[in-house]
A = this chain, B = another copy of it.
Amino acid sequence: MPKMSDVARLAGVSTATVSRVLRNPDAVKTGTKEKVLEAIHQLNYQPNMLARHFRRTETKTILVLVPNIINTVFAEIVGGIEEQASKNGYRVLLRNTARKLEREYGSIEHLKQRQVDGMIMLSPQLDEATLNEISSQFPIVLATANLETPKIPFVSIDNVSSSYKATEHLIRLGHKKVGHITGPMDSLLSRHRNEGYRKALGDYGLDIDEQLVRRGHFSYESGFEQMMDMLGQNHVPTAVFAPSDEMAIGIINAAKEHQLRIPEDLAVVGFDNIRFASMFNPSLTTIAQPLFKMGQRSMELLLKKLNGESISQTEHLLPDELIIRDSCGARKKGKLLHN
């Protein structure tokens, strides 16, 4: 592999000049520049990036920590990050945490060892104190994460108001017994979605029937199981708000096992608007998160940090949208009942 000195020799200049042609072409006279470029071409020279990174103590690489890449929600955010990163000359290192806390800690080592210039964490599980500690030393951005006392830039939607909107939709369709299966309650995001649900019921003067509120963890299985269990009881909901589409599908399938029709006997609203939401039968009414955009935005914020620019605000809430399809019954009535 030819090195810079080879180019320099062939072009009859010094390595300094070759380096300048590569990094700051305007500082070189046109004639010499051409000679150098010609030599580069002739030798098919490629700069040794390892040497460059070492010399400049930067890697042009960012780390993306994902709880689980197989989850389409995360995959789509990663897609947005990658797009924005590569557009700006950055590469994306992917690490699956498999929801192991120690793998999140491990990523700190990565930063310390200068293996990456910065990091984006999706749904981190680390406590806020630790996150703040890392953030004070390295450029990091959070995605799909809310913070109690935000000090680190993060990208999210407003989980309270979106859940409120979803629940309200069901209430305005006439439902009095609206159930909810939560995500894991150690996650602030789940608590926020739960909060929006409760707020909506309260605002519309409906009591919260704690028997209709169950604990799950976003998954299809937890939706199915909790719903099966709920339907085995003596009083059942006429509508359910689920904090993920996967869970909504689990709920619907459980209801079908009990010979319930969707949406006539049970209305369901999901969350995320995954690709599959519109393909399912019935198609899911759901809250659409702009996942790809959230990925892009996280990377934009990280880029600012990497470039030393200041970030005015820490909360970056992107607009969500209630997508009305067939699982809630609004479309069955010929026209929407409200809005």
Contacts and interface: CB of A to CB of B under 8 A. Distances in A.
Give the oligomeric copy count: 2
A279 B256 contact: no
A284 to B, nearest CB: 12
A68 B69 CA distance: 13
Interface string A85-111: 010000111111000000000000100
A138 interface: no
Contacts of A69: 69, 75, 78-79, 82
A30 interface: no
Interface string A192-228: 0000000000000000000000000000100000000
Nearest to A111: B46
B54 A113 contact: no
A220 B281 CA distance: 14
Contacts of A83: 96
A125 interface: no
A5 interface: no
A35 interface: no
A220 B220 CA distance: 21
B54 A82 contact: no
Contact of A281 (B47, B78, B281): B281
Contacts of A325: none
Contacts of A261: none
A203 B211 CA distance: 58
Contacts of A57: 50
A34 to B, nearest CB: 22
Chain B CB within 10 A, most for which of A47, A48, A50, A220: A50
B109 A46 contact: yes
Contacts of A94: 64, 78, 82, 92-94
A115 B54 CA distance: 12
A305 B200 CA distance: 59
B113 A47 contact: yes
Nearest to A53: B50
A112 interface: yes
A275 to B, nearest CB: 8
A93 B96 contact: no
Interface of A: 1, 46-51, 53-54, 57, 59, 61, 64, 68-70, 72, 75-76, 78-79, 82-83, 86, 91-96, 109, 112-115, 220, 246, 249-250, 253, 256, 275-276, 279-281
Question: Ordered nearest first, which 9 A-B pairs have the shortest CB separation?
Answer: A54-B54, A49-B113, A94-B94, A50-B54, A46-B112, A75-B75, A49-B115, A82-B96, A46-B113
